Every structure is written in C-alpha cells, then in structure tokens.
Amino acid sequence: MKRRLSALLAALLLTASMPIVSLAQEPAPAAEAGKAPGAAPESGRGAEAAEAGSAGTEHATPHYPLKKPPHMSWSFAGPFGHWDLGQLQRGLKIYKEVCSACHSMNLVSFRNLTALGYSDAQVRALAAEYQVTDPAPNAQGEMFQRPGIPADRLPAPFPNPEAAAAALGGAHPPDLSLIAKARAVERGFPYFVFDIFTQYAEGGPDYIHGLLTGYGQTPPEHTTIAPGTHYNPYFISGPALAMAQPLTDGQVTFDDGAPQTVDQYARDVAAFLMWAAEPHLVARKATGFVVMIFLIGFAVMLYLVKKRIWAATPH
C-alpha cells in the first residue's frame, strides 16, 4: 500500500513539473535590430501600454445629472408661499415665443390663464390669435379650422408625436404640461427629512432652471458627446441632450422692466411650468397648514380632557 502511494505521488509531481520544464527549455526569441537582447516584441509592448493606459484612465460609472441643480428661491416655496403673477405672465410669454415652437401643453386650456391675472376679455383675445381644429365636423362632415375660444387647449406645434420626431431629427419633445412635477432630482439624505417640514416641492423648477442655464460649459475629460447633441451637466438622463440652447440674453422683451437675461428667463418659465403642473399648489399648502394647526390643537384638547376625566381615579 505504501509503495502504491509513493508511486502515485511521484507521478503527480512529475506531471506538475512538465510545463515548467518546457517553458524553461523554450528558446528565447532572437533580438531585433537596434534593440537590446531580451527586449519585448512590439505586440507585447503595445499590450502592456494599453493595459497601463486603461489602468490610468479607469473611471467609475457616472451618475446623472453630473451636477445637481442649485436650490433656488421661489415665491411659492414653503407653507406661506404665493404665486408671483408678474413672473407667471412673463413665463407664459417665454413659452409662447420660444418653447411653443417645439413643445406642447396639451393639458392647459386658455380659460385656465385667468388664474394668472388675465381678464376674460384678454383670455378670449389670446385664444382668438390661434387657429384650432374644431373637435366636431361641419355640416358636410369635414373637419375645419376656427379661431380659438377659452375652452380650447393650447395648440400643439405638431399634429402628433411622430410628426414632431420627424421634423426634429428623431427626437420627440416632451409635453410641458406636467414637466415640473415629472422632472426632479432626488435630494438624498438628510435633505428629504427636512423636506417633510419645509414642504419642499420645488425640485422640478430647480431642475428646469438648472437645465436651461447649464449650456455652454466644457465637457469633462473622457466624456463622450454624441454628434448632434449638446453637453449639459444638469440633464438627468445623460451628459448631453438633443435640444440646443433655447434661450439667449435679450431674446424675449419684458414690459415690466424685468432683466432680459437667460437666468431670468429660466426662472420665469420654470415658475410658469410649476403653476401649469400644479395650479392649486398654494391653496393646497395653505389648507395643509390649517389642518396641521387644527390637529395639534385637537391633540392638546384631547390630552386635557383625558386629564380632567381621570383626575379623580387613583393610578
């Protein structure tokens, strides 16, 4: 038995040493002209250089947006917030003159604009500036165009999403009716804890403002920008987007003396889009504040009643 184990161990040792012996007996390659003996061939040196380069340029997976939008100050923020009607009217003007060329607002009617401080006559005049397709056919069974009325929705620049994508190089611009509620960057811990008490709901406007003012920056090293796209570190889905910079200084004229800058344009249109997404935001916050005060008072009253009822009962 011992002899069999010794023979088996010797065979295993011989088999394990065979590759080492063969490698040791392998002849060395001939030295190339002008190179020292034992120098690595070009293919080997290229592989080593590539490995060294990849090790030096290795980066972690980026998380978008590359920059979080700055926290802005809004009139409608907090439990005592209110709408700045002048700002909302300027934002509507920016949408009409700039954004409406590509983006729709299919959920906003002309009659809703009375909440921005416009009279019924002004809303009717604004709606009449547009030609809309009547939802019902005429007596001949044909669809027809007519001037808009307050009950109509804001007209879209394209008849359908496919037409919009075909006209804009394959990119379909999103509808802006709810964009201020649909786009927001997570604030993370511990900010979301404080947001419960501050009633923070301005993530969408912050993001819109950051996106509109984030153009024109130099992409970081090793960031690939696809042809036909534009770098923007605040874009939530990647390093670049198909939409070119939409706003420039002096592009829209204000009648109330507000600054005609990209930053002001971005603030105003972001506030307008927040109103469009949640027109009852201010009323909701005011109601919630009153309810919280009532619940606190009711809890105090219940505690005092409990103390009164059980005061004579021994514990």
Predicted confidence band of residue 165 (pLDDT cuts 50, 70, 90): very high
262-277 and 85-97 are packed helices; what angle lies between their axes, rounded to 10 degrees?
Answer: 100
pLDDT in tens, 43-52: 344 444 434 4
- Looking at residue 257, what DSSP letter applies? -
Residue 102 marked as a ligand binder: yes
The pLDDT value given to residue 3: 56
The pLDDT value given to residue 105: 97
Q: Return the biggest CA–CA distance within the chain.
A: 112
> What is the percent of the chain where pLDDT is above 70?
81
The DSSP bridge partners found for residue 145 are 133
- pTM of the predicted model as reported, rounded to 2 decimal places: 0.77
Residue 17 predicted with pLDDT over 50: no
Comparing 44-58, 83-97, 201-215, 272-286, the range with the smallest average pLDDT is: 44-58
Residue ranges of domains in the chain:
64-106+170-278
pLDDT in tens, 232-251: 999 999 999 999 999 999 99
Tokens representing 167 are 């006209």
The pLDDT value given to residue 8: 52
Residue 172 marked as a ligand binder: no
Report whether 170 contacts 189 (CB < 8 A): no
Q: For residue 72, which phi and psi values (nearest 5 degrees)?
A: -95, 165
Per-residue exposure over 28-48, b if at least 16 CB sit within 10 Å of its own CB, e if not = eeeeeeeeeeeeeeeeeeeee
Q: How far apart are CA 254 and CA 241, in angstroms?
A: 29
Q: Is CATH 1.10.3720.10 correct for 64-106+170-278?
A: no
pLDDT in tens, 109-123: 999 999 999 999 999
Residue 103 marked as a ligand binder: yes
Residue 99 marked as a ligand binder: yes
Q: How far apart are CA 49 and CA 168, in angstroms?
A: 43
Cis-peptide, bond into residue 190, ω within 30° of zero: yes
pLDDT in tens, 242-278: 999 999 999 999 999 999 999 999 999 999 999 999 9
Residue 73 predicted with pLDDT over 70: yes
What is the residue whose two structure tokens read 């002849």?
27
Task: Kindly list the distances between the CA atom of residue 160 and the CA atoms of 44, 89, 157, 171, in Å, as whole numbers in the listed order.
Answer: 57, 27, 9, 13
